[in-house]
Structure 1
Amino acid sequence: MGKIPKPQLHGLSVRRAKLWILSSLINGVLGALAFQLFYINPKKKLFRDFYENYDIEKEFETMMNKGLFDSC
């Protein structure tokens, strides 16, 4: 039988804090990247596609014919 190793008591909290900070930074960057790729970019594409074919004059005429404007 060998000796039982001594537990590490000195610097344990510092080492664990560095590990947690590093993992939280990595998770934050990955979360931001996922948000950009899966939410922001598709939303930008939807807006771009909508405004490519949007005719403001036609929309104005449609709303005016429905009687939505009191001053026109």
Structure 2
Amino acid sequence: MASSSLTKPQMRGLLAKRLRFHIVGAFFVPLGVAAFYKFAMTEPRKKAYADFYKTDDSIKDFEEMRKAGIFQSAE
């Protein structure tokens, strides 16, 4: 009868091997997420704010609201 023996699991250095893999992942995954958030979310938002304030005329808006009667103390 042929006995099939299982290979012994690696015990020596197992923690160091797994930590090496997970530390690299724990460094690069958040770095990638932060870069994605910066370029996909904050940069377009900053551009939209800049475009809005290039053409914004707050004095004109105030005068329109004043003429519409929104403000009671600035007649």
Q: TM-score, normalised by structure 2?
A: 0.80
What percent of counterpart residues are identical?
32
| Count of residue pairs the alignment pairs up | 69
Instruction: Note the residue ranges of structure 2 that are not aligned, 5 or more in a row.
Output: 1-5
The aligned runs of 1:13-52 (5 Å cut-off) are 13-52=15-54
1:36 corresponds to which letter in structure 2?
Answer: K
Largest Rg, 1 or 2: 2
Paired amino acid for 1:15:
K
Stretches of 4+ aligned residues off by more than 4 angstroms: none
CA root-mean-square deviation: 1.6
Question: Partner of 1:8: helix, strand, or coil?
Answer: coil
Quick one: which of 56, 70, 73 aligns to 1:54? 56
Partner residue of 2:13 out of 7, 11, 14: 11
